[in-house]
């Protein structure tokens, strides 16, 4: 309220001593020089780019801390309802540039840095990505944090502070993916986080849980470790509001075992402390591939430990903050909303039950009411192999009390009587819906637990939410009713994915709309104002020139990092995402080879009419995913042959850019003419890079899947290139492939020819690729043979359309202009209003 009594000392002295955010060039340079001299203990004589980056980052950090502190204080005073976003992954990328733009200080820092004799672009390149995520799910969490802060919503993220992020990808000369650790913190202090050694909680594993007569239980013994908080500041765009992402690090509760140490058994002495530290040591790199089977038993146990460690620490923190408000627990759902980002934090449900029952002595029924009014669950996949299940014996061993609670939920949720009553005699339905899957061993189905223990379930695009309702959670919809199940289509932050990665386009938009970017970046529907300018030849020229310069920027990047020359007069065709059979990078490379074979057969005169094309791939494969790694190998080796062919190399070149990251995406996305989002219909929940490309005026080539559908609705079907079978056909086609297979030669001769060339050794030892090619020749689960011809057809349409350059630029402008819906601001406001019931709390 600002009316409180000054807490200590002389208020005037405090006020004189306090500083404010650096807003002009001279205070920026002063602050940087100060950090060079004191924080880094260096001088102008021995300062390199890295040192200059560190000093500038520390200076921005000071600014962020001021805003962050004020925001947190303001939230504490006002005690509004807050939302907590629990995500095992936050794929933040770099912070420096983003923070400067959100603070509105980029120009001041650029000028200051120049005055000190450095180049801003060089400094920006010094920062290492924070890559604490695999792909879409982790990047979505990062976009949502940006939007929450920008929309002044009291939202905190909770995650893990992995020592090692997603592995670094190297490509061997033979085209094999090699993995290397990503020790992203090794360079010294991370300026973007605040270690909070004072904020820590004890987390227990193993031990015994003894039920007490009063309904509580006593969980004791086992291993105890400490969770220590690290706070990452999340600045909003053009607002003081700076939210918090709290990441937990595991530490041993006691240094090491002194008894063993004194007895000379050093190994045993440090064993338990190592095992505690191991919990947050590394991000699991498996993306969709077998939530279960691809990891060893020990690996599984560690993953479950990660999940519990993180949910337990986060809930302890949330409950402590709630208790400080001094309200009864019956009001918990009025002050707290907890969003589960996929099933990874589902243990939050039994853990909150445990806290309420065992620690707060709340009766079972009341506790369940509180939990189911507080928790929300977002599903990100319907792929059966990606649905999490945990073996009951492992759960009983690691989390005995939680397993008891899960069994209690099973009996209280009353499947056998309530479901029986509604669907008498339907035993199959009971088995399908059970939280426990029968088998050896029995397993806990986390999606079922997440689904019944919460207030709202949502998918991430219209089609996907329909599939959730009609496939994996169908029985629950029939049992609980439709209203609990809804959709929030994903979004992306236009700050990073337009203003930051494409500054020239951002400036052109502001100039054309005659609106400051601080306005349209937070109200993205304003892009519609660009529509009339599609008819303005001068504007089109500027638009196209920016695309061209972005292509040159990418070419420069490829030249300096890989030593390769890229033809910037060609159409840029990009597919960048995790390698997975369902995403069908294989379809893309087979299409490329088809194009190559076609070019080879043409006469010189015919070739003259062909528009040159450069195809870019980037993405990581899960280390144990053999077929995905073979796809990379095929891409790399096909690129080697195709790029070296003097007949065609002016018309077609292919690049696999190693070590895909958020920072690489920021260079690739603004340069694309087309991008490919070509998953088998019904498999890609939403996709978010499709939105990023379209926002930057790249046209979409895609299947009728995920958010592609809504993008096409928004930008107009004539501005996208769709192909392939639709979702309802997929199941039947798979059935036919299984029981009435037709050889590829008959079904799709053009594809058969491509496969034969590969087998025949056109791109090196053909035998190597047989396992990959056989996935197509045999089951063809992802329906490449079914979609190949229409895919090639779509690419021909692209070639046709590209011939008319002016019309193409119009399509590009219209695409950007119609992308307002896909701002993550819209998405986060939907969560805030329809799910969490939270409101903006502006820091003034």
Would you tell me which residues interact with ligand F58 (CB under 6 A)? 134-137, 140, 286-288, 380-381, 386, 460, 490, 684-688, 706
Q: How far apart are CA 688 and CA 135, in angstroms?
A: 10
Which residue of the set 540, 613, 620, 692 is catalytic? 692
Nearer to ligand F58, 269 or 622 (CB): 622
Q: Where are the alpha helices (DSSP H) in 503-584?
A: 503-513, 517-520, 537-562
Which residue of the set 577, 580, 613, 620 is catalytic? 577
Nearer to ligand F58, 168 or 683 (CB): 683
Q: Compute the least distance from the CB of residue 755 to ligand F58, in Å.
A: 28
288 is catalytic: no
Q: Compute the least distance from the CB of residue 580 to ligand F58, in Å.
A: 9
Q: Compute the least distance from the CB of residue 621 to ligand F58, in Å.
A: 13
Question: Are 572 and 616 within 8 A, CB to CB?
Answer: yes
Q: Compute the least distance from the CB of residue 704 to ligand F58, in Å.
A: 14
* β-bridge mates for residue 720, sequence order: 700
Classify 507 as helix, strand or coil.
helix
Nearer to ligand F58, 287 or 666 (CB): 287
Which residue of the set 380, 522, 540, 580 is catalytic? 380
Q: Compute the least distance from the CB of residue 113 to ligand F58, in Å.
A: 35
Q: How far apart are CA 363 and CA 359, in angstroms?
A: 11
577 is catalytic: yes
Q: Compute the least distance from the CB of residue 829 to ligand F58, in Å.
A: 17
Classify 223 as helix, strand or coil.
strand
Q: Write phi, then psi, for 95 (nearest 5 degrees).
A: -110, -35
What is the Cα gyration radius of the chain? 28
380 is catalytic: yes
Map tokens 């919503």 to a residue: 153
Question: Are 345 and 86 within 8 A, CB to CB?
Answer: yes
Q: Compute the least distance from the CB of residue 460 to ligand F58, in Å.
A: 4
* β-bridge mates for residue 157, sequence order: 85, 245
Question: Are 132 and 89 within 8 A, CB to CB?
Answer: yes
Question: Are 677 and 700 within 8 A, CB to CB?
Answer: yes
Which residue of the set 311, 586, 688, 775 is catalytic? 688
In the structure encoding, which two tokens stand for residue 833, read together?
């209003």
* β-bridge mates for residue 164, sequence order: 282
Q: Compute the least distance from the CB of residue 819 to ligand F58, in Å.
A: 16
Residue closest to 528 by CA, chosen among 537, 520, 538: 520
Q: How far apart are CA 614 and CA 567, in angstroms?
A: 7
In the structure encoding, which two tokens stand for residue 244, read together?
């918090």
Q: Compute the least distance from the CB of residue 497 to ligand F58, in Å.
A: 14
Burial environment of residue 291 by CB neighbours within 10 A (0 to 12, 13 to 18, 19 or more): buried
Relative orientation angle of helices 537-562 and 805-817, to the nearest 10 degrees? 90
Nearer to ligand F58, 280 or 381 (CB): 381
Nearer to ligand F58, 246 or 583 (CB): 583
688 is catalytic: yes
Q: Compute the least distance from the CB of residue 582 to ligand F58, in Å.
A: 9
Question: Are 287 and 259 within 8 A, CB to CB?
Answer: no
Question: Are 681 and 727 within 8 A, CB to CB?
Answer: yes
Which residue of the set 246, 495, 583, 613 is catalytic? 583
Per-residue b or e along 270-279, where b marks 16 or more CB atoms closer than 10 Å to that residue's CB: bebbebbbeb
Map tokens 């420069």 to a residue: 556
Nearer to ligand F58, 87 or 151 (CB): 87
Residue closest to 156 by CA, chosen among 95, 81, 70: 81
Q: How far apart are CA 812 and CA 699, in angstroms?
A: 6
Nearer to ligand F58, 136 or 453 (CB): 136
HSE, side-chain direction, 13 A CA sphere, residue 561: 17
Residue closest to 177 by CA, chosen among 583, 578, 777: 578
Map tokens 């070590």 to a residue: 659
Which residue of the set 106, 578, 629, 821 is catalytic? 578
In the structure encoding, which two tokens stand for residue 651, read together?
């018309």
Nearer to ligand F58, 151 or 381 (CB): 381
- Cα dist. 652→160, 407, 649, 673 in Å? 43, 60, 5, 15
Nearer to ligand F58, 534 or 707 (CB): 707
Nearer to ligand F58, 241 or 306 (CB): 306
Q: Compute the least distance from the CB of residue 140 to ligand F58, in Å.
A: 4
Write out the H or E segment, with its range, that includes residue 251: strand 242-252
Nearer to ligand F58, 460 or 472 (CB): 460
Which of the residues are catalytic?
Answer: 380, 577-578, 583, 688, 692
């Amino acid at each position: 309220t600002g009316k409180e009594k000054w807490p200590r000392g002389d208020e005037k002295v405090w006020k004189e001593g306090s500083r404010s955010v650096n807003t002009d060039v001279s205070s920026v340079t002063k602050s940087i020089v100060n950090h060079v001299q004191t924080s880094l203990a260096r001088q102008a004589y021995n300062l390199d780019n890295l040192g200059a980056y560190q000093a500038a980052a520390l200076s921005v950090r000071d600014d962020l801390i001021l805003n962050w502190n004020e925001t947190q204080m303001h939230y504490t005073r006002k005690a509004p309802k807050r939302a907590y976003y629990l995500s095992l992954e936050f794929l933040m990328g770099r912070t420096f540039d983003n923070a400067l733009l959100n603070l509105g200080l980029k120009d001041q820092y650029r000028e200051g840095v120049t005055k000190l004799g450095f180049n801003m672009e060089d400094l920006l390149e010094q920062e290492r990505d924070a890559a604490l995520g695999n792909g879409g799910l982790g990047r979505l969490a990062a976009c949502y944090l940006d939007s929450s802060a920008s929309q002044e919503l009291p939202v905190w993220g909770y995650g893990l502070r992995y020592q090692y992020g997603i592995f670094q990808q190297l490509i061997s000369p033979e085209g094999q993916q090699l993995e290397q650790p990503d020790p992203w913190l090794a360079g010294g202090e991370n300026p973007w986080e605040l270690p909070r050694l004072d904020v820590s909680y004890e987390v227990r594993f193993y031990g015994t849980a003894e039920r007490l007569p009063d309904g509580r239980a006593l969980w004791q013994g086992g291993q105890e470790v400490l969770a220590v908080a690290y706070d990452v500041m999340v600045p909003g765009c053009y607002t003081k509001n700076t939210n918090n992402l709290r990441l937990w690090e595991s530490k041993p509760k006691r240094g090491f075992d002194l008894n063993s140490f004194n007895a000379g058994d050093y190994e045993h002495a440090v064993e338990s402390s190592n095992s505690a530290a191991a919990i947050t040591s590394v991000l699991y790199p498996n993306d969709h591939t077998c939530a279960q089977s691809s990891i060893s038993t020990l690996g599984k146990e560690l993953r479950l430990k990660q999940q519990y460690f993180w949910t337990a620490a986060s809930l302890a923190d949330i409950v402590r903050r709630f208790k400080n408000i001094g309200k009864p627990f019956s009001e918990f759902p009025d002050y707290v909303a907890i969003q589960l980002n996929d099933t990874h934090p589902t243990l939050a449900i039994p853990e909150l039950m445990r806290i309420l029952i065992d620690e707060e002595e709340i009766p079972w029924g009341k506790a369940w009411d509180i939990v189911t009014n507080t928790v929300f669950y977002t599903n990100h996949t319907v792929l059966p192999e990606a649905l999490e299940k945990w073996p009951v014996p492992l759960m009983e061993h690691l989390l005995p009390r939680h397993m008891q609670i899960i069994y209690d939920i099973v009996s209280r949720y009353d499947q056998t009587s309530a479901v029986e009553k509604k669907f008498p005699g339907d035993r199959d339905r009971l088995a399908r819906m059970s939280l426990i899957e029968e088998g050896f061993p029995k397993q806990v189905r986390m999606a079922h637990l997440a689904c019944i223990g919460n207030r709202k379930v949502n998918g991430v695009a219209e089609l996907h939410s329909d599939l959730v309702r009609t496939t994996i959670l169908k029985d629950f919809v029939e049992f609980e009713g439709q209203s609990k199940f809804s959709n929030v289509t994903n979004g992306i932050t236009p700050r990073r994915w337009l203003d930051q990665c494409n500054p020239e386009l951002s400036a052109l938009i502001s100039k054309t709309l005659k609106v400051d970017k601080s306005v349209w970046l937070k109200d993205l529907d304003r892009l519609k104002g660009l529509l009339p300018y599609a008819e303005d030849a001068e504007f089109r020229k500027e638009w196209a020139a920016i695309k061209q310069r972005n292509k040159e920027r990418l070419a420069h990047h490829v030249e300096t990092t890989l030593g390769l020359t890229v033809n910037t007069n060609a159409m840029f065709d990009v597919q960048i995402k995790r390698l997975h059979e369902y995403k069908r990078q294989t379809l893309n490379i087979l299409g490329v080879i088809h194009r190559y074979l076609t070019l080879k057969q043409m006469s010189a005169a015919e070739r003259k009419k062909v528009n040159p094309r450069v195809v870019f791939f980037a993405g990581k494969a899960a280390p144990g995913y053999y077929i995905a790694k073979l796809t990379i190998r095929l891409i790399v080796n096909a690129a080697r042959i195709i790029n070296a062919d003097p007949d065609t190399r002016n018309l077609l070149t292919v690049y696999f850019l190693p070590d895909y990251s958020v920072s690489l995406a920021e260079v690739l996305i603004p340069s694309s003419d087309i991008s490919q989002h070509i998953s088998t219909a019904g498999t890609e929940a939403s996709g978010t890079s499709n939105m990023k490309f379209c926002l930057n005026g790249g046209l979409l080539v895609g299947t009728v899947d995920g958010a592609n559908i809504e993008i096409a609705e928004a930008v107009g079907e004539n501005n996208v290139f769709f192909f392939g079978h639709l979702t309802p056909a997929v199941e039947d086609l798979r059935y036919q492939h299984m029981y009435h297979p037709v050889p590829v030669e008959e079904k799709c001769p053009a594809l058969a020819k491509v496969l034969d060339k590969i087998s025949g050794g056109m791109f090196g030892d053909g035998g190597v690729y047989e396992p990959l090619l056989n996935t197509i020749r045999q089951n063809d689960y992802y329906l490449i043979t079914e979609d190949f011809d229409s895919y090639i057809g779509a690419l021909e349409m692209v070639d046709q359309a590209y011939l008319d350059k002016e019309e193409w630029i119009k399509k590009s402008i219209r695409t950007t202009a119609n992308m307002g819906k896909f701002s993550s601001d819209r998405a986060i406001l939907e969560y805030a209003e329809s799910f969490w019931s939270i409101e903006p709390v502006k820091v003034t």
